[in-house]
Amino acid sequence: MKKKIIIGVGVLVVILIIVAMNAKFKGKAIEVKAEKVKKGEIKSIVSAPGRVSPKNDVNISSDIMGKLIKLNVREGDKVKRGDVISELDRTREEAAVEVARSSLLSAKASYEMKSTSFERTKKLYEKLLISKEEFEVGKTDFRMAELTVEER
């Protein structure tokens, strides 16, 4: 029986606390604004000072030196692999190619002449009409002409 009285008093106390709290907050409702939902864009602009830096820095250089005669892109332009970024003056290189070509032709002509001369010298040596020293000189001249052509 004591238990029933204690439980009854406990329930009564809880009910009184709930009623008291309800009375305290009854007049203080939170004011809320409501709007109809509609589609639209949300624009959020932030203006702040800062520093922009690239993910990767790329150094562009040429394997050869020369005077720059044409620049095909500006800073900030997008380029792809294989795009021609700039052009260099090729006058010196073209002249050097011509000199090398002439030098090669000269070396080939010298080789042909030395080859013919060596064949004659070889035949004369086989017939014992010239000394071994003359044969060796002819052979060395021929070999030098051959190496000169290979070099160029």
State the pLDDT at residue 75: 84
- How buried is residue 122: exposed, middle or buried, by Cβ count under 10 Å (0-12/13-18/19+)? middle
Tokens found for residue 10: 């406990």
Do residues 115 and 147 lie in contact, with contact meaning Cβ atoms separated by under 8 Å? no
Q: To 10 degrees, the CA torsion angle through 109, 111, 115, 116?
A: 20
Do residues 150 and 129 lie in contact, with contact meaning Cβ atoms separated by under 8 Å? no
Q: Which tens digits make up the pLDDT trace of 27-82?
A: 666 778 888 888 888 888 888 898 888 888 878 777 878 888 999 998 888 888 99
Compute the distance between CA of residue 55 and CA of residue 109 in angstroms, rounded to an integer. 58
Q: To 10 degrees, the CA torsion angle through 98, 100, 102, 107?
A: -170
State the pLDDT at residue 137: 92
State the pLDDT at residue 28: 63
HSE (side-chain half, CA atoms, 13 Å) at 31: 0
Q: Which tens digits make up the pLDDT trace of 108-142?
A: 999 999 999 999 999 998 999 999 999 999 999 99
State the pLDDT at residue 25: 67
State the pLDDT at residue 112: 93
Predicted model pTM: 0.43
State the pLDDT at residue 27: 63
Q: Which tens digits make up the pLDDT trace of 75-103?
A: 888 888 999 988 888 888 889 899 999 99
State the pLDDT at residue 131: 92
Query: HEC states along 3-65?
Result: HHHHHHHHHHHHHHHHHHHHHHHCCCCCCCCCCCCCCCCCCCCCCCCCCCCCCCCCCCCCCCC
Q: Give the start-to-end residue ranges of the domains of the chain.
A: 107-152
